[in-house]
Amino acid sequence: MNILYIKVKAQKVLKFLKETYPDTKCHLIFKNAHELLVGSILSAQCTDKRVNMITPGLFQKYPDIDAFSKASEEKLQREIRSTGFYKNKAKAIINCSKQIVQLHGGKVPCKMEYLVKLPGVGRKTANVVIGNYFKKPAIIVDTHIMRLSRRIGLTHNSDPVKIEFDLRECISEKHWTFFSNSLGDHGRTVCKARKPLCSKCKISEICLYFKEITTHNKY
């Protein structure tokens, strides 16, 4: 892929996102770093809306990392069951919290190299926390970003880590977090997984997916 061409396309996408989603933000509701970390772990294969339905009560019962580190795994499973994959998530939250208490003094670390060493924390979750709580530039590759970045033609990769680094190449660092959050909003409202609303999309003229379907429909 021609990186100069991709960078030009990326700037057009960024301009559109700034005009369309200027007030974009993380959809998870949180008050501090540990709430965002837990919420992000729960959001795997689950909607932010569903996570936000259970976290107020969860955070009231477990007000800090120390409380989560001492939680009963069986009880936590029941409390987060509606988010799916609750057994793995409960184990990850408890073990992650224990490690934060033991190695980081009960404070969620702000660096990628420390975050990804925590149980249940991958680069996506780490970037959610880095970008949305610590306010440092972060490319957050969730299902929306994976889908849209490939459809638009900003990457040809399917691996989330490779997509993250492809987007780093074509988007200015200062815009990384905004780009991630706003492109996610576009994925939720317009460029949906099953039935993308291409007729309502203002960047369809630079979208590879739209070009492919219109070309296919001619024949």
Question: What's the mean per-residue pLDDT of the chain?
Answer: 96
Helices assigned H by DSSP within 171-207:
176-189
- 128, 41, 34: which is closest to 80 by C-alpha? 41
Q: Is 114 helix (H, G, I), strand (E, B) or coil?
A: helix
Tokens of 168: 């780093």
Cα–Cα distance, 97 to 93 (Å, whole number): 6
pLDDT, tens digit (0-9, with 9 covering 90-100), for 130-164:
999 999 999 999 999 999 999 999 999 999 999 99
| pLDDT reading at 28 higher than 80 | yes
Class assignment of domain 33-132? Answer: mainly alpha
What is the signed CA dihedral for 145, 138, 108, 75, rounded to 10 degrees? Answer: 0
The fold of 3-24+140-217 is Endonuclease Iii, domain 2 (1.10.1670)
Query: What is the pLDDT, as a whole number, of residue 213?
Result: 84
Cα–Cα distance, 36 to 33 (Å, whole number): 5
- 120, 100, 112, 111: which is closest to 161 by C-alpha? 112
pLDDT, tens digit (0-9, with 9 covering 90-100), for 125-134:
999 999 999 9
Cα–Cα distance, 207 to 214 (Å, whole number): 11
pLDDT, tens digit (0-9, with 9 covering 90-100), for 57-115:
999 999 999 999 999 999 999 999 999 999 999 999 999 999 999 999 999 999 999 99
Instruction: Determine the distance from the C-alpha atom of residue 152 to the mean position of all C-alpha atoms in its chain, rounded to a whole number.
Output: 18
Domain with CATH 1.10.340.30 in the chain: 33-132
Whether 178 contacts 24, CB under 8 Å = yes
Domain with CATH 1.10.1670.10 in the chain: 3-24+140-217
- 18, 32, 15: which is closest to 181 by C-alpha? 18
Percent of the chain scoring above 70 in pLDDT: 98
Give, rounded to a whole angstrom, the gap between the first and last alpha carbons of the chain.
27
